[in-house]
Structure 1
Amino acid sequence: MQTHTVTTPFGRRPMTLGMIASQVTAQNAPEGATVHKWHAFRDIKEARIALGATDRALAILDALLSFHPETAFYGDSALIVWPSNEQLIGRANGMSPTTLRRHLANLVECGLVVRRDSPNGKRYARKGQGGDIEQAYGFDLSPIVARAVEFKELAEAVRAEKKAYKVVKERLTICRRDIVKMIEAGIEEGVPGNWGTVHLEYQAIIGRLPRTAPRQVLEAIAAELDDLWTQIRDVLESFVKTQNMDANESRSDRHIQNSNTESKNESESRFGIKREESGSAGGADNLRSLPKRELPLGIVLDACPNVLWLTKGGDISHWREFLAAADLVRPVLGISPSAWEDAQVAMGEQPAAITLAAIYQRSDQIKSPGGYLRNLTERAKEGKFSPWPMIMALLRAKLDAAKSTGAGIEEAESELGAAKRLDRTEKRLEISDSLRSSLNRRDR
């Protein structure tokens, strides 16, 4: 018969208030409580981090539970096991003695087991005349019964948190995929909207997403992405509904649509900017304006100073630096790589970069930079577009703004005058192919 309950550890191990608390909890197990030891162990594994237990400590607890012959633990039964360190090492997959002692201490600190040390520190049981155990020294597994409800609640909370974390991760992944593909669709389909700004807003939200983050942070970012998703979706749906209405009208009034010669200009008005003058003249004129006259870099930068914002140091001194800056402008405006490649093929690399800089300069007036560039590309393929008029228009706007504010008038007039003189000089020097052939025949 057990006459005394051991409360202090053997040797140099100190007694702590945590040990006393664990012993009190073990003694206060609910009467008549029955716990399946492996079900309780499963809950402990789920709540391992919340309990502060290590994975090696759980391997030792698994071994300790295996030394008790019963599967069902009762609150009023003796639950002390006394395996030697060698036996524990054998069942704990060959763990070293030092590691075993360290993680046994972890089990005691977490309150999962209680030490019942003998006078000499050995683990054994003393039996009476009838074979019943009178006194046992080893590890008391009573906390498994006493805290079974707590373990179950912790495990359920951990499982719910894991599920919520997985759900918000899936939500983030789908939302990011939807936003990127909807922005691409808006650009490719020419839907009116400042898609460059939308893309920058999306990048700003994603930029705050750390590599590893708690669920609360992920949910806050997911909420912001949901709002952006809703805005983009509304724009695309509104555009689709508008297109469907236009299609219905075209089917009912087909003869009116066919007789309207200004339909192309009406479609361009969706981009929020008037059609630029191409600067081309009749093909039969001997002194005509060729569509690929080269613009000086200085005049282009005077007309499009905003492109300097994207360069390192805010300075461009060579065309190669200007072309590199244009590559930075494209994603800012939300122009797709395919639209940019088509523009470079149709206009040439340098004129396309000038055109992009002019669009960036007037981005506040252009609702769909990608659609506007595609429109200019089509005109360039027909030989009806040159960036000259765009640059001249920007210089005139700069002069008008200077006149309204009264500052920088002389500089703006000088820039516009230089551009006009260069334009007139090149027009005088440019001759048609037929006139050039006639002069060559005369020289012979």
Structure 2
Amino acid sequence: MASQAVAKAVPEGAQVQKWKVFYTIREARDLIGATDRSLAILNALLSFHPEMELSGDGELIVWPSNEQLMARANGMPATTLRRHLAVLVGCGLIIRRDSPNGKRFARKGRGGQVEQAYGFDLSPIVARAEEFEELADAVRAEKNAFRLAKERLTLLRRDVVKLIETGIEENVPGNWGRVQQSYQVIVGRLPRSAPRQLIEDICCDLHGLYTEILEVLESFAKTQNLDANESHSGRHIQNSNPDSIFESEDGSRKKNEAGGSVAETDNVRSLPKRELPLGIVLDACPNMRELAQGGEIRHWRDLLATAELARPMLAISPSAWRDACEVMGEQHAAITIAAIYQRSDQINSAGGYLRSLTEKARDGKFSTWPMIMALLNAGLKAQKTPETSAGPSKEPDDDRPGLQVSDSLLKSLQKPRR
């Protein structure tokens, strides 16, 4: 009944090329619900229409017998023919116009014109021609999107493998075994024949892994360049960039103090203006030595490389680390990571904590000095506690000398905090 209602709605004067619309139907057959066998029968039915065009004003009923249809359908069995004729009717591509006795025939007038025909009505093809074209466009767009997704997947797989090989060959600090395992887990979700949505999801995961590896390699290359500049000029790595963000923040901080803005400078007015020595940072954050490759951190670049190792262990995203480097400078961002790693058992969300400190540093309200001094003070208290309980004769577990600080620094640490 729905197909008949559509057929009655054929606009007057509508015309379509029967083979052109047939190719459109064949392209969109999955969305229409047709099968290959049913389309073979539709092709045979269209061949019984004498004109090349199907017109809404003309007679669109064909009345071939089953024997004629089976012959033009390459000898299809009668039972298969009847089953797929029902499929064409169910898809709304044809309409049955049955005679009283169920046979297909046509009555002609004296002039040879068809007055009454019983068979299969092809008018739904004319009425739904635009719909079929839209469905075919959707199928073509889906095929194109699927092709692009497969191409992107191939490129990402190739690029990730090349980046991992580069990191291993260049001895870039990092847990490359874990990276390879992550890659295998992502690719292992890909079946032999995957839908487009699954391919796109895997592409998103691979792109995230690709971005993370690329950032590690770029950071390593940048560190190598800084090392080359340091060895060439004989200057400290921190002084290789005189216009760093941290120094500009220090200058703006002094300007605010001169302007008398007490609310913004109350937390940083009494902070030291000199740089933190690497030795003090390592005494305050001894866990970084255990994480460092070779167990030694001799230069700031070694601390930066170790911070790159600690970042994924703390579940800090690459974007949070990048923002911290841009705002604080790479050296102070590495010091902040070292302090967070030292207190990792006391921090629920290291990534959120780093972003909070980055925002404070952006406003000139954060310095690494108080953080390192607090860790030093905690280390001194931890050293005094076992000495008091076990006696002065207890030897340390390792051969590394104990924490050594000057008397003036010890006095400043023991002062009550305001």
Give the TM-score taking structure 1 as reference length. Answer: 0.52
Which amino acid in 1 is paired with 2:125? I
What residue number does 1:27 align with? Answer: 8
What residue number does 2:19 align with? Answer: 38
2:133 is the alignment partner of 1:152: yes
What residue number does 2:294 align with? Answer: 274
Matches within 5 A, 1:15-414: 20-247=1-228, 272-274=292-294
Cα displacement (A) at 1:248: 5.2
User: In 2, distance between residues paired with 1:229 and 1:273?
Assistant: 24
User: In 2, distance between residues paired with 1:215 and 1:239?
Assistant: 36
Cα displacement (A) at 1:101: 1.2
User: In 2, distance between residues paired with 1:158 and 1:102?
Assistant: 26
User: In 1, distance between residues paired with 2:22 and 2:225?
Assistant: 62
Matched positions, count = 247
User: In 2, distance between residues paired with 1:38 and 1:241?
Assistant: 63
Cα displacement (A) at 1:240: 2.6
Deviations 1:387-443 (A, max 9, x none): xxxxxxxxxxxxxxxxx9xxxxxxxxxxx9xxxxxxxxxxxxxxxxxxxxxxxxxxx
Task: Give structure 2 stretches of 5+ with no counterpart.
Answer: 235-288, 297-340, 342-385, 387-396, 398-418
Which amino acid in 2 is paired with 1:155? A
Cα displacement (A) at 1:232: 0.9
Cα displacement (A) at 1:121: 2.1
Deviations 1:56-90 (A, max 9, x none): 00011011111111112111211111112222122
User: In 2, distance between residues paired with 1:215 and 1:236?
Assistant: 31
Which amino acid in 2 is paired with 1:44? I
User: In 1, distance between residues paired with 2:218 and 2:72?
Assistant: 64
Deviations 1:297-319 (A, max 9, x none): xxxxxxxxxxxxxxxxxxxxxxx
Deviations 1:325-353 (A, max 9, x none): xxxxxxxxxxxxxxxxxxxxxxxxxxxxx
Which amino acid in 2 is paired with 1:272? A
Cα displacement (A) at 1:252: 6.2
Cα displacement (A) at 1:249: 5.3
User: In 2, distance between residues paired with 1:24 and 1:191?
Assistant: 71
Q: Which has the higher contact order (CA 8 A, sep 6+)?
A: 1
Deviations 1:192-248 (A, max 9, x none): 111112122222222333333332222122111111111111212222333344445
Which 4+ residue blocks in structure 1 deviate beyond 4 angstroms?
247-253
- What root-mean-square deviation, in Å, do the aligned CA atoms of Structure 1 and Structure 2 show? 2.7
User: In 2, distance between residues paired with 1:40 and 1:235?
Assistant: 55
Q: Secondary structure at the match of 1:235?
A: helix
User: In 2, distance between residues paired with 1:48 and 1:124?
Assistant: 29
Which amino acid in 1 is paired with 2:2? A
User: In 1, distance between residues paired with 2:171 and 2:141?
Assistant: 44
User: In 2, distance between residues paired with 1:115 and 1:247?
Assistant: 85
Q: Secondary structure at the match of 2:293?
A: coil
Deviations 1:345-389 (A, max 9, x none): xxxxxxxxxxxxxxxxxxx9xxxxxxxxxxxxxxxxxxxxxxxxx
Cα displacement (A) at 1:160: 0.8
Cα displacement (A) at 1:251: 5.8
Which amino acid in 1 is paired with 2:83? R
Cα displacement (A) at 1:132: 0.8
Give the TM-score taking structure 2 as reference length. Answer: 0.55
Q: Secondary structure at the match of 1:274?
A: helix
Task: Give structure 1 stretches of 5+ with no counterpart.
Answer: 1-19, 254-268, 277-363, 365-403, 405-415, 417-444
User: In 1, distance between residues paired with 2:52 and 2:217?
Assistant: 62
Cα displacement (A) at 1:54: 0.8
Cα displacement (A) at 1:147: 0.6
Deviations 1:65-123 (A, max 9, x none): 11111112111211111112222122212211221111111111111001112222222
Deviations 1:158-191 (A, max 9, x none): 1111111111111112111211221122112111
Q: Secondary structure at the match of 2:16?
A: strand
User: In 2, distance between residues paired with 1:67 and 1:251?
Assistant: 88
